[in-house]
Amino acid sequence: MLTTGGRLLFLGGQNGDHAKTSDFAKQFEAALERVVAVIRATGGEPRHLAKLNIYVTSRADYAKARRKIGEAWRRLLGKHYPAVALFVVKGLWETRAKVELEGIAVLP
């Protein structure tokens, strides 16, 4: 994604542990809601998200939840697709979390 001008917003890891569920798709949606909330709180819009790193503890859980993840994505980001990388990790800081999102937004 090529950006010009603007301010950079670095979004630290956001997870869905607060959703109090072990459902992968619901944790993903809760984490993405947090990402969008931080962007909006700083005066941006979801379309300003330029880079998103997705950290998951299970490739299989991610694969099984792709349809629901896609639904959450379209609801929160529409047809906006920033540069995305997916990493399978041994664990996350929040032990109940199955997914964590980290990103960069370019704000006007």
pLDDT tens track, the chain, 108 positions: 667 778 999 999 999 887 789 999 999 999 999 999 999 999 999 999 999 999 999 999 999 999 999 999 999 999 999 999 999 999 999 999 999 999 999 999
Alpha-carbon span 77 to 2, nearest angstrom: 18
pLDDT at residue 26, rounded to an integer: 97
pLDDT at residue 6, rounded to an integer: 86
Alpha-carbon span 41 to 97, nearest angstrom: 24
**Sequence letter at residue 88:** V
2 part of a folded domain: no
Q: Residues 9, 97: contact at Cβ < 8 Å? A: no
This prediction's pTM: 0.93
Alpha-carbon span 64 to 58, nearest angstrom: 10
Alpha-carbon span 86 to 29, nearest angstrom: 16
pLDDT at residue 42, rounded to an integer: 95
Domain interval for residue 77: 7-107
1 part of a folded domain: no
55 part of a folded domain: yes
Counted domains in the chain: 1
pLDDT at residue 57, rounded to an integer: 97
84 part of a folded domain: yes
Alpha-carbon span 95 to 57, nearest angstrom: 10
Alpha-carbon span 5 to 83, nearest angstrom: 18
Tell me the CATH number at 41. Answer: 3.30.1330.40
46 part of a folded domain: yes
